[in-house]
Structure 1
Amino acid sequence: MTLLTPDRTGGRPSPSPHQGTDPAPGLSPSTTELGVLFGGDYNPEQWDPAVWREDARLMQLAGVNLVTVGVFSWSRYEPQPGVRDFAWMDEVLDLLHAHGIAVDLATPTASPPPWLGHLHPDTLPVDADGVRLGWGSRNQFSPASRVYRDHALAITRDVVERYATHPAVRMWHVGNELGQVCHGEESAAAFREWLRERYGSLAVLNEAWGTAVWSQHYGQWEEITPPRRAPYHLNPTQVLDFRRYSSDALRSLFREQRDVIRGIDPVRPVTTNFMGFFPLVDYWSWADDLDVVADDAYPDPADPHAPSTSALTHDLMRSLGRGRPWVLMEQAAGAVSWRPHNLTKSPGRSRLESLQAVARGADAVCFFQWRAATKGPERFHSAMLPHAGPETRAHQGVRRLGADLARLRAVVGTRVVARVAILFDWPSWWASQSEALPTDRLDALAQLRSWYRPLWEDGVAVDVARPGQDLSGYDVVLAPQLYLLAERAAEELRAHVARGGTLVLGPFGGVADESAHVRTGRFPALLRDVVGLSGEEWVPLPDDGAEVAWSAGSTAARPGGRPGEPSGTPGATSSRPSVSEPEPEPEPAPAPVPAPVPAAGTGSFRAEVLGELVRSEGAEVLASFRGGHLDGGPAITRHGLPGGGAAWYVATVPPQDVLAHVLRRALAEAGVEGVAPAVRLPGVEVVRRGDALFVLNHGRDTVRVRVEDLFPRGSSSVSPSHPRAEVVDLLTGLPPAAGEVVLAADDVVVLIERNS
């Protein structure tokens, strides 16, 4: 098996995502003709031909213009080895094309037919306990299996050769939710090949893996296996490298099928569906292999922070594509079927989540799936067309969304521009999940989401960035937790601050190198002079945390959330209070607006999870630990540097309101504010994409927002130099009444300035 060369770069050199250029083919040929793409997965192999015809009619009425077809069709295409049946798909594609519906045609390789596992059991995956998994589900293949790959390439080639010129086909879709891991013998051989390419010799590997510890020294390549069940803790670098290999193995699988497609059809774009912050695949290493980034998003209705969590994931997808439009490939119209207790969401909430994706760069909004299944494990998963049929609340909501998206042609192809980057790295995340760390409670993804949330609340546009990439397009860079820090990534952070930028670092960062070896000396080893402090111990905190007191006279410890605000609720500067009109179908409440931070020198807070024993080497101490092992040590610092740059350091996990205050202070100092700084209401999200301003109400209550707060004085809507400009809601074609936007729960407006 041929694998990709392991990625040793620590990150691709690239411009800021919003500065990228559009390569061909991309989405634009389809969106230029069709506008925002709208639809979902369609599985005609589950239905009779009479149902296909009804489906096409109803899709057309709902405004559907794109469906993904063929994802799980391998056994229908190839019921027996080498026997092909394409007649049914010919009819499906012809029918869809006749109704003006474009197709994202999938390679059917996500779920091999039972005959493949029966004839070739070595194609089946093996888990870490050595158990070979069977068929009867899906994903039943080893990414390393050459037999599986050969069969997958054969069916891919036949599908593409047959349909490459079909007028319905607009895009190709490789597999589905690639995320399989295998610990079997063929995977072990492929892992060893990958290691040879990465290290070159056993001597280098033994040093990188630290095999002098616990007598693990390897004398032959054949002695190396994937990490399997063992009596005690596993080698952390072996585990980290296996996760890197597993991601690369799936990437190689994707590229094999993509290259077959491109060899036959070099025109249409090729994608596969990502899964947000999926823990098994490093999407940074994949992103440039896709013509279009696509994502499956299933926020939990029970999560009060779901709106900000979804926004962060959408920002990741946009950033993976260097700022270009992306595809929301899957979401649920109502409830999913795979959680223990599957809360549903109203059609209004489904519409809100869809338009949130568009606000953050999506040019396609799709669902799983079109028609609700009556058989199989997903028979209770919601769909665009539910079991009860088209005359239902759910389907009428789908039709409303289709009509809304048709009105957003002005948004298609436009971009979100951000001045703030938040860093995230899969290998660092993986390494921070290893065994035998000071604590297992410092979750890197949870930290990322907590740091992002105040920016989301304030309407600050954020890109997600890979450590080591070019950061010159940003004013502020946030690094909530970078356990692994490569020298190249550290140099880019150093350059950012030297240019006058602001850097905010969180705890347990820069601890280890790319092999997960702890760096010796005081931490953060590569950035001590940048942050102006040095550390010597990581101290897990007891369940009740540790007290931290603000330093008297600290410029960062003022009340409120932004400089110049009066004491009180941070950022609550809108002159219009929300009007309490309860939503008839309650959704989970959004996170409350943070309480004010105590005044300088008069208050304290409880830090959680972890503290660091550090000392200032030039940094201003803004808050210090009080009592206990860390007594008197800095907890939050700021270090001003020549050229106007500043590095903030948070040496613990503060409460959310304190974290929000620190981040808001750092952004304010850097001159960064939200798109509509006068608007900060609980649950209200404001996003600018191109010339359009999206205002989304995730809360339970109706809110009122003045247009002049969204388009402040100096914008063309109110400037005397542009007296004829007016603000119009693209979804209604009308200006807001009486200069005010009224948003009920789950409602959205998309405002744009137009000359009358």
Structure 2
Amino acid sequence: MYPERPAGIAYGGDYNPEQWPREVLEEDVALMREAGVNLVTLGLFSWALMEPEEGRFAFGWLDEIIDRLHANGVAVDLGTPTAAPPAWFVARHPDVLPVTREGVRIGFGGRQSACSSAPAFREATARLVRALGEHYRGHPAVVMWHVHNEYGAPLGECYCEHSVAAWRAWLRQKYRDISALNDAWGTTFWGQTYTDWAEIDAPRANHTTVNPAQRLDYARFSDGQHREHYALQRDILRELTPGLPVTTNFAGTVNCKSTDLWQWARELDVIANDHYLQAERPDNHIDLAMSADLARSVAGGRPWMLMEHSAGAVNWQPRNLAKRPGEMRRNSLAHVARGSDSVLFFQFRASRFGAEKFHSGMVPHAGTGSEQWREIVRLGADLRKLAGLRGSRVRAEVALVWDWESYWALELDWRPSVDLTFRERMDAFYEALWREHVTVDFVHPSADISGYRVVVAPSSYLLTEASAKNLHRYVEAGGHLLVSYFSGIVDEHDTIHPGAHPGALRELLGLSIEEFHPLREHETVTLTTGDPARVWSERVRPAGAVTVEGFADGPDAGHPALTRHDLGAGSAWYLATAPVTGLRDLLARVLDHAGVSRPRGLPDTLELVRRGGHVFLINHGDRPVTAEGVSGVSVFDGVRHDGPVTVPAGAVTVLLETPRP
């Protein structure tokens, strides 16, 4: 289900009119018309105004605002304000305040300040959401529901008494018999065997490490509690307004460590994602592309919604850099290129008070005489010209394996090296593919991957037997798989697969690993190509695989560093280290072997993405660049291009592609 309105690309963002006097609100509507705003999110943090005291609801102030927006052609994404419980509620129910792993109960005054497992919070949530749904069902301005805000950020896990009670119930349902739990958790180690469910506590902070299987299950449980709180609201809203889609906004797909978005995708009518640039990262546009590709993938390839990003600086990073001229436009159009049917901001008007008063808005503190406002108005005009893209898809021949459970398990305590992190390898492979101008999807290891020429598994430390068999079938049927080191090591309980590493992938890769040789900080080894590598080395013993590259020095000198195992109609490649400079060339070799077509000779600063018969050319550099091999009519100025296309520095060109004569 997808919102029927507004037509074309949705444009706007979070609107917090409760912060402003009436005269400002009247001006806001005029400015929305000027900028082409057609959708705003209302009410996300307004519980105290909607229910000023228990059971007494006050929607009149919101009625006036929604009616004014509707009269001016602006649709409403109506929020449920459960991310900000009011002071009166917390004073009456202090037990809803979350407890940290260290045993500290947080105070009131932030957001996400109630435990999703707390019965009083769930009861109050249901009461409020039912009143909200009953009041606004049938209102022509309300086109979708926006539940809560950024589940899992900053509250991922809670260790309060309500969480522990729910945790024990969750374990009973999952394992049925306590002996099955003991087997799964390996509780004979360190004498942890349980004889009664009541003996099991949450995996609180300890003076040493805590059972990793228990912590992995607690991550699953905690994420599931947030989903239950979401589903509680969704089901009420579906009952009352069955024609309206219901969603919640992810706190940036690539940054949602505590949130398994493959599981969440089953619960949402439309995928909605927030993205904020890592301001000090010089190539932060690559992280943006990665977040957008992951959002599209979680949506199953369908269009998704950019629910929040920033017009300028954010307020919560160590150094909050303002966006340079043109950067906001590039950011916005890159999301659209990668499948978003919306460009929405936090927020419409920059706040004068509160924790986010230094966060940019579509209307900045400098007002409408600013260059930022002029860019906002120009972007609205651009998006109207891209209305025909709504509903179209992005196609990819290459996929990256991303599994949140592997993310959780890999980064628990006492792994062979502190340099083994999920995002480090994932980012490295994604960046190399981005620079090769390859558009990628992300996939769960158990998903149907038969439609991809190449699948890359950068960080599959946790891999179930079923997922390993799925990868095996993919290769035998003609697929090409590239696996990075420390993959296929443990099962779903963080128990090492039997036999030599990489247990789950040993037959598929045609090799075994005799010993891990993690490298010292800043230490490198040299490959036979002459390229340096870092972080990791290991003793690989081929058993059917052929050596493509080797280690020239280091603890594994003379042994394989890159192998290929031809299996059935496909091939399985294995990389036993982290190349410092050669990863892109290595990937290019695999892509060429698999016959993946891609643009050649384009500069690194140019982003090229195709969607719905359009090609987006986004120049992230400070010099003009030229793209060969594309032709069509420019969407923004109507100019036809039948030869090389030159994209000015920092600019975006979008062509409606036409075949070459």
Match of 1:632 among 555, 558, 565: 558
Query: What is the alpha-carbon distance in structure 2 between the residues aligned to residue 301 and residue 130 of structure 1?
Result: 33
Query: What is the alpha-carbon distance in structure 2 between the residues aligned to residue 128 and residue 502 of structure 1?
Result: 42
Query: What TM-score, normalized to structure 2?
Result: 0.97
Q: Deviations over 1:440-493 (max 9, x none)?
A: 112111211110112212221211001101111111110001000101111110
Identity of aligned residues (%): 44
Shift of 1:611: 1.3
Shift of 1:754: 5.4
Match of 2:637 among 728, 732, 739: 732
Which residue in 2 is equivalent to 1:566? none
Query: What is the alpha-carbon distance in structure 2 between the residues aligned to residue 372 and residue 544 of structure 1?
Result: 44
Q: Deviations over 1:221-250 (max 9, x none)?
A: 111111112121111011111001011000
Shift of 1:546: 4.1
Match of 1:690 among 595, 602, 612: 612
Shift of 1:679: 4.6
Match of 1:750 among 630, 633, 654: 654
1:490 aligns with 2:468: yes
Q: Deviations over 1:202-224 (max 9, x none)?
A: 10111111111111111111111
Q: Is the 8 A contact 1:105 1:173 kept in 2?
A: yes
Q: State the secondary structure of the residue aligned to 2:562.
A: strand
Q: Deviations over 1:290-312 (max 9, x none)?
A: 11100010011211231121111
1:100 aligns with 2:73: yes
Q: Is the 8 A contact 2:537 2:555 kept in 1?
A: no
Query: What is the alpha-carbon distance in structure 2 between the residues aligned to residue 69 and residue 48 of structure 1?
Result: 16
Query: What is the alpha-carbon distance in structure 2 between the residues aligned to residue 523 and residue 229 of structure 1?
Result: 31
Q: Is the 8 A contact 2:212 2:413 kept in 1?
A: yes
Query: What is the alpha-carbon distance in structure 2 between the residues aligned to residue 376 and residue 544 of structure 1?
Result: 43
Q: Deviations over 1:277-331 (max 9, x none)?
A: 2111111111021111000100112112311211111111101111111000000
Which residue in 2 is equivalent to 1:649? 574
Q: Deviations over 1:677-712 (max 9, x none)?
A: 135112101001121101100112122334xx224x
Q: Is the 8 A contact 2:525 2:534 kept in 1?
A: no
Shift of 1:50: 1.9
Match of 1:409 among 384, 387, 396: 387
1:223 aligns with 2:173: no
1:175 aligns with 2:148: yes
1:549 aligns with 2:475: no
Which residue in 1 is equivalent to 2:246? 270
Q: Deviations over 1:341-380 (max 9, x none)?
A: 1111124101100000000000011000000000100000
Query: What is the alpha-carbon distance in structure 2 between the residues aligned to residue 642 and residue 75 of structure 1?
Result: 63
Task: Choose 64-73 or 302-311, whichever is displaced more.
Answer: 302-311
Q: Which has the higher contact order (CA 8 A, sep 6+)?
A: 1
1:55 aligns with 2:28: yes
Query: What is the alpha-carbon distance in structure 1 between the residues aligned to residue 650 and residue 264 of structure 2?
Result: 34
Q: Is the 8 A contact 2:99 2:159 kept in 1?
A: yes
Which residue in 2 is equivalent to 1:569? none
- Taking only aligned residues, the RMSD between alpha carbons, in angstroms, comes to 1.4
Q: Check 1:679–1:751 CA distance in 2 against 1; reply closer, same or farther (3 A cut).
A: farther
1:210 aligns with 2:136: no
Q: Deviations over 1:59-95 (max 9, x none)?
A: 1110000000000010011111122111100000000
Shift of 1:544: 4.1
- The gaps in structure 2 that reach 5 residues or longer are none
Q: State the secondary structure of the residue aligned to 1:243.
A: helix
2:408 alignment partner AA: W
Q: State the secondary structure of the residue aligned to 1:289.
A: coil
Shift of 1:435: 0.5
State how 1:308-387 maps to structure 2 within 5 Å: 308-387=286-365
Which residue in 2 is equivalent to 1:559? none
1:747 alignment partner AA: A
Which residue in 2 is equivalent to 1:673? 597
Match of 2:630 among 683, 701, 710: 710
1:662 aligns with 2:586: yes
Task: Choose 352-361 or 739-748, whichever is displaced more.
Answer: 739-748
Shift of 1:733: 2.3
1:240 aligns with 2:145: no
Q: State the secondary structure of the residue aligned to 1:685.
A: strand
Which residue in 2 is equivalent to 1:525? 503
Query: What is the alpha-carbon distance in structure 1 between the residues aligned to residue 328 and residue 385 of structure 2?
Result: 18
Q: Is the 8 A contact 1:679 1:710 kept in 2?
A: no
Q: Is the 8 A contact 2:497 2:504 kept in 1?
A: no
Query: What is the alpha-carbon distance in structure 2 between the residues aligned to residue 261 and residue 616 of structure 1?
Result: 57
Which residue in 1 is equivalent to 2:116? 143
Q: Deviations over 1:694-745 (max 9, x none)?
A: 1100112122334xx224xxxxxxxxxxxxxxx1111222224x84423222
Count of matched residue pairs: 655
Which residue in 1 is equivalent to 2:537? 611
1:535 aligns with 2:535: no
Query: What is the alpha-carbon distance in structure 2 between the residues aligned to residue 282 and residue 529 of structure 1?
Result: 29
1:292 alignment partner AA: V
Which residue in 2 is equivalent to 1:462? 440
Q: Deviations over 1:405-424 (max 9, x none)?
A: 00002211110011111001
Q: Deviations over 1:525-572 (max 9, x none)?
A: 12222211111211111234343332xxxxxxxxxxxxxxxxxxxxxx
1:623 aligns with 2:549: yes
Query: What is the alpha-carbon distance in structure 2 between the residues aligned to residue 70 and residue 101 of structure 1?
Result: 15
1:129 aligns with 2:53: no
Match of 1:185 among 133, 157, 161: 161
- The gaps in structure 1 that reach 5 residues or longer are 1-24, 551-602, 712-726
Query: What is the alpha-carbon distance in structure 1 between the residues aligned to residue 94 and residue 392 of structure 2?
Result: 49
Which residue in 1 is equivalent to 2:5? 30
Shift of 1:619: 1.4
Query: What is the alpha-carbon distance in structure 2 between the residues aligned to residue 456 and residue 471 of structure 1?
Result: 20
Q: Deviations over 1:250-269 (max 9, x none)?
A: 01110110000000011111
Q: State the secondary structure of the residue aligned to 1:310.
A: helix
Shift of 1:513: 0.5
1:287 aligns with 2:283: no
Q: Is the 8 A contact 1:123 1:141 kept in 2?
A: yes
Query: What is the alpha-carbon distance in structure 2 between the residues aligned to residue 402 and residue 454 of structure 1?
Result: 33
Q: State the secondary structure of the residue aligned to 1:630.
A: coil
Q: Is the 8 A contact 2:307 2:343 kept in 1?
A: yes
Query: What is the alpha-carbon distance in structure 2 between the residues aligned to residue 93 and residue 625 of structure 1?
Result: 65
Q: Is the 8 A contact 2:348 2:363 kept in 1?
A: yes
Q: Deviations over 1:72-130 (max 9, x none)?
A: 01001111112211110000000000110001000111100011110011111111121
